[in-house]
Amino acid sequence: MRSDLCNRCGSCVGLSDGAIVMVDREGEYRPKLVKELSEEQAGRIWEACSGKYFDFPAYRELFYRNASHFHPYTGPYERIGIGYSTDPAIRANGASGGIISQILIYLLEKKMIRGVVTLRMNPDKPWLNEPVIATTREEVLDAAQSKYCISSVNELLPAIASFDGDLAYIGLPPQVQSIRKLQAINDPAVTRIKYIFGPFYGNTLHFSSVRSLLRTYHENDYTAIEKLYFRHGEWPGNMRIEMRGGRVIELKKFHANYLIPFHILKNSLYCTDLTNEFTDISGGDAWAPDYEERGMGYSILFTRTKTGNDLLQKMVDEGYISFGEITENEAITMHSHGYDLKKRGAFIRIRFRRLTGRSVPDYGYALKGFPLSRYLMEAMISFLFLVLGTTPARWFIGLFSPVFIGKWFEKARTFWKKSTYKIKRTNLT
Ligand SMILES: Cc1cc2nc3c(=O)[nH]c(=O)nc-3n(C[C@H](O)[C@H](O)[C@H](O)COP(=O)(O)OP(=O)(O)OC[C@H]3O[C@@H](n4cnc5c(N)ncnc54)[C@H](O)[C@@H]3O)c2cc1C
């Protein structure tokens, strides 16, 4: 709970019966022990914790034994494709193609579930997110879109356990991994969960990212935020902050990415799951010039279980989703920079961390055999993350226009994508 291995999934809070609470949400965002835990409670929480230990091969064997395909970068899957919701309102309201929202609404309206564990912006503190069980189309749409600040969905485990009916669950990879760990031991907290979906996961940011952006616009009171969107408007969208008093601050999504190295949650750098490998269906942005130029919103999708694959096919047949298959190679090329970050960079960072004698996550597998140049590049990137995450660096960057810095950041991303283009074919052992 106190180390960089804590991914803030919230399971320890949810399972602790009030003995662990999440504190300092606008700062470090940490679980904190406030009462003694019984040995039984502590054991259960340790079993659920995905920060220190999550055995990818073992859980793959348990949940995806019959998967048709597997690649160490993508995890197990049935089909990969590009798609979007055919309902223009759902598509426009989603982070990319609105597919996750569309699936959830379909399941609710066809009465295949009674609720959805999802993440909305807190109506009382609109600068923070909060998990909620949505039971209507309107509530699902209200919770759509990516929230790039830390979330702890599994704090909701008590409500999930006592919910009257079947549920779909949406979470980031570390949150999903914790749910899978609980399912593996038949924990009663998760028996209501019938479907698991989730977005791809590059990283999340501390709330300091929002405070810092506001300061560059000379706004010092984040409690004056009335609405906070991370992906507002047409795909890929803008970060948009509406302040009390009517001021609106808006920055292109790609430009807002400059906040990442300054405010990244350290644990994101040790997470090796880009594509949410333990879901039934996972979705990300279909990053390719062809789609980006068209706007409107395109998702890349992986169906991973038979349940997920059959559901998607049914929705395609009934006209709810447009879906065209692509190859594994195309999918890996599309997110080559993401795979480089998660499937090469993260393992190298874990090795660096181990060399310093600090505890490291155990994923039951490791990818290695990268060229020396990749280790040198990672040493440079890790050094940059270290320096840029300091208070003076955050202060310094605040002196520049976010649009100016953002443009440079976008150029760096394009360069990174180009330089990792051949990632699948080189040096993967
Ligand atoms: C933190 C984060 C990092 C991401 N990184 C990448 C990336 O590197 N590359 C990439 O291609 N795609 C990434 N995505 C996924 C992408 O932004 C879209 O979420 C994805 O394409 C699905 O789009 P959609 O339109 O189908 O989802 P929508 O229909 O908008 O539904 C999104 C669902 O995800 C839930 N959700 C949103 N944010 C969170 C959160 N923080 N924690 C838990 N649940 C959440 C929402 O409540 C909603 O149910 C990331 C998403 C998040 C949240």
Among 7, 49, 55, residue whose Cα is nearest residue 362: 55
Written as six digits, the tokens of 348 are 């190298």
Pocket test for ligand 1, best of 11, 104, 146 (most atoms within 8 A of CB): 146
**Relative to the CA of 104, which ligand 1 atom is closest?**
49
CA 254 to chain centre: 17
The alpha carbon of 155 and the centre of ligand 1 are apart by a number of angstroms equal to 19
pLDDT of residue 423: 62
pLDDT of residue 399: 87
CB 151 within 8 A of CB 176: no
When mean pLDDT is compared across 322-326, 373-377, 420-424, the lowest value belongs to 420-424
The alpha carbon of 248 and the centre of ligand 1 are apart by a number of angstroms equal to 23
pLDDT category of residue 429 using cuts at 50, 70 and 90: very low
The alpha carbon of 37 and the centre of ligand 1 are apart by a number of angstroms equal to 34
pTM for this entry? 0.97
pLDDT tens string 236-286 = 999 999 999 999 999 999 999 999 999 999 999 999 999 999 999 999 999
Q: Show me where the domains of the chain are located.
A: 54-429
| The residue to which tokens 């066809």 are assigned | 110
pLDDT of residue 409: 85
The alpha carbon of 145 and the centre of ligand 1 are apart by a number of angstroms equal to 6
pLDDT of residue 414: 81
The alpha carbon of 41 and the centre of ligand 1 are apart by a number of angstroms equal to 31
Any ligand 1 atom below 6 A from CB of 174: no
**Relative to the CA of 102, which ligand 1 atom is closest?**
29
Question: Average pLDDT over the chain, rounded to whole?
Answer: 95
**Relative to the CA of 231, which ligand 1 atom is closest?**
17
pLDDT category of residue 398 using cuts at 50, 70 and 90: confident
Any ligand 1 atom below 6 A from CB of 84: no
Any ligand 1 atom below 6 A from CB of 282: no
Any ligand 1 atom below 6 A from CB of 284: yes
Mean pLDDT, residues 135-151 taken together: 98
Decide which of 175 and 411 is more confident.
175
Atom 33 in ligand 1: which residue has the minimum CA distance?
Answer: 144
Q: What are the φ and ψ backbone dihedral angles of 32, each rounded to 5 degrees?
A: -135, 135
Atom 17 in ligand 1: which residue has the minimum CA distance?
Answer: 146
pLDDT category of residue 393 using cuts at 50, 70 and 90: very high
pLDDT at 40 over 50: yes
pLDDT of residue 425: 47
